[in-house]
Amino acid sequence: MTTVSTPRTDVDVVVTEHGVADLRGRSDRERAEALVAVARPDHRADLAAAAAQRG
């Protein structure tokens, strides 16, 4: 597996096999929610919980 890190200011749209997250103009919280929505379904609860802890 390869990990890619990109500054958030350089990312407008994220496409996964589970959907498309358009991040343009969104707050940090909205960005997190959009990314959780297109994550692998069995990871979504953990990702949502981690996002909630960070505010």
Q: How far is 53 from 48, CA to CA, in rounded Å?
A: 9
Q: What is the pLDDT of residue 41?
A: 97
- Cβ neighbours around 31 below 10 Å, total: 19
Q: Tell me what pLDDT residue 23 has.
A: 97
pLDDT at 8: 83
The pLDDT assigned to 55 comes to 78
Total domains present in the chain:
1
Per-residue pLDDT of the chain (55 residues; tens, 9 = 90+): 898 888 888 999 999 999 999 999 999 999 999 999 999 999 999 999 999 999 7
The parent domain of residue 12 ranges over 8-54
Is 24 domain-assigned? Answer: yes
Whether 1 is covered by a domain: the verdict is: no
Could you tell me which of 43, 25, 23, 41 has the C-alpha nearest to residue 33? 23
